[in-house]
């Protein structure tokens, strides 16, 4: 029984890790006032980039760095459209998703069915991993898991307790007042979009070089959209995102646990997305004033505008 509990818990954390990485980036991006619906496409680009680089270099860490860089590079498109051109952020984000999915599908076409000979292996924290059950669950995981937790903590601390965090939050709440204080709002938003793209690329890399050792078109499987819902669920707080990400990770694992009961596989595959819709419905029925959403989220801002 103990082995089953440990196995299920470990798989839950594994499934939730890419969701957490993507959500941290989206939280940072949206706190600056930019809505990015392109997470799915950026994650897909990160996944195929990490796979290809790892495939040729046999070094998953190089694959990870390449995925982060690729995620940031493709996010420049959304940054330019949203900040420099002040275009509709919803349209720009959707276009980024379609572009990212198209690029990844084309780039990875010849790699479908080719497994990696190496991947990002799990890392057992010395001494702590030997402690039964709870500690074994948390301290015998992929490096992505440890990085995700540390980055969530760092993002929360930065947003809440540093001058840079104040500037980011101010850019999302009142960019006019922020600009009046001598802060370059456009630069802050550009930086947050690129940082969010790096996190999404990292999430994609997690899927192709750690979660599995292969690339298939559409392997993100809608996780980018779940990330956007989790950002709202977390109330734009990176630490709350930890809870939400692993909750949804558990829902992914639940699919496999329920299969032996004879439940339709098609229905089980719908569970994460049904849960996403349910969360959004519950939030929508609640008090919108308590959501703590950035006041200027999704609103374009032109420097010097009064």
Q: How does pLDDT run across 62-120, given as a tens digit for each residue?
A: 999 999 999 999 999 999 999 999 999 999 999 999 999 999 999 999 998 888 888 88
Architecture in CATH for domain 2-112+135-285: Orthogonal Bundle (1.10)
**Of 1 and 292, more confident:** 292
Highest mean pLDDT among 154-163, 246-255, 259-268: 154-163
Residues 6+ apart with CB under 8 A from 129: 135, 136, 139, 140
The SS3 assignment for 171 reads helix
Kindly list the domain boundaries of the chain, sorted by start residue: 2-112+135-285
pLDDT, average across residues 26-54: 96
In sequence order, what are the beta bridge partners of 123? 141
Asked if pLDDT for residue 136 goes beyond 70, the answer is no
Asked if pLDDT for residue 141 goes beyond 60, the answer is yes
Residues 6+ apart with CB under 8 A from 143: 120, 123, 210
pLDDT, average across residues 221-250: 90
Q: How does pLDDT run across 212-225, given as a tens digit for each residue?
A: 888 999 899 889 99
Asked if pLDDT for residue 125 goes beyond 70, the answer is no
Tokens of 304: 């010097």
Other C-beta atoms closer than 10 Å to the C-beta of 129 total: 16
pLDDT, average across residues 189-204: 96
Asked if pLDDT for residue 253 goes beyond 90, the answer is no
Tokens 């076409």 appear where? Answer: 109
Query: What share of the chain has pLDDT > 90, as a percent?
Result: 56
* Confidence band for 282, pLDDT divided at 50, 70 and 90: confident
Exposed, middle or buried by CB within 10 Å (0-12, 13-18, 19+), for 255?
middle
Return the pLDDT at 302: 74
The SS3 assignment for 214 reads coil
Lowest mean pLDDT: which of 97-111, 116-130, 145-159? Answer: 116-130
Return the pLDDT at 72: 97
Asked if pLDDT for residue 295 goes beyond 90, the answer is no
Asked if pLDDT for residue 129 goes beyond 80, the answer is no
Question: What distance in Å separates the CA atoms of residue 68 and residue 136, rounded to the nearest whole number?
Answer: 29
């Amino acid at each position: 029984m103990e082995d089953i509990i440990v196995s299920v818990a470990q798989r839950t954390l594994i499934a939730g890790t890419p969701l957490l990485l993507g959500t941290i980036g989206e939280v940072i991006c949206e706190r600056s006032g930019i809505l990015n619906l392109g997470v799915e496409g950026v994650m897909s680009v990160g996944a195929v980039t990490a796979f290809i680089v790892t495939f040729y270099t046999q070094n998953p860490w190089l694959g990870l760095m390449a995925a982060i860089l690729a995620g940031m590079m493709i996010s420049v498109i959304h940054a330019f459209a949203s900040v420099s051109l002040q275009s509709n952020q919803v349209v720009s984000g959707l276009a980024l998703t379609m572009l990212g999915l198209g690029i990844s599908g084309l780039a990875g076409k010849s790699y479908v069915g080719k497994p990696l000979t190496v991947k990002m292996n799990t890392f057992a924290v010395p001494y702590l991993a030997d402690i039964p059950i709870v500690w074994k669950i948390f301290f015998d995981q992929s490096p992505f898991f440890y990085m995700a937790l540390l980055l969530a903590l760092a993002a929360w601390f930065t947003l809440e307790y540093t001058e840079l965090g104040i500037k980011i939050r101010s850019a999302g709440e009142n960019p006019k007042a922020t600009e009046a204080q001598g802060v370059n709002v456009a630069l802050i938003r550009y930086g947050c979009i690129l940082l969010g793209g790096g996190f999404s690329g990292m999430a994609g890399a997690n899927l192709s070089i750690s979660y599995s050792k292969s690339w298939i078109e559409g392997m993100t499987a809608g996780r980018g959209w779940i990330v956007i819902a989790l950002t709202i669920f977390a109330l734009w707080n990176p630490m709350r995102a930890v809870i939400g990400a692993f909750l949804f990770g558990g829902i992914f694992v639940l699919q496999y646990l329920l299969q032996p009961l004879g439940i339709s596989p098609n229905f089980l595959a719908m569970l994460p997305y049904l849960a996403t819709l349910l969360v959004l419905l519950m939030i929508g029925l609640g008090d919108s004033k308590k959501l703590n959403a950035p006041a200027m989220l999704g609103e374009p801002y032109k420097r010097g505008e009064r």
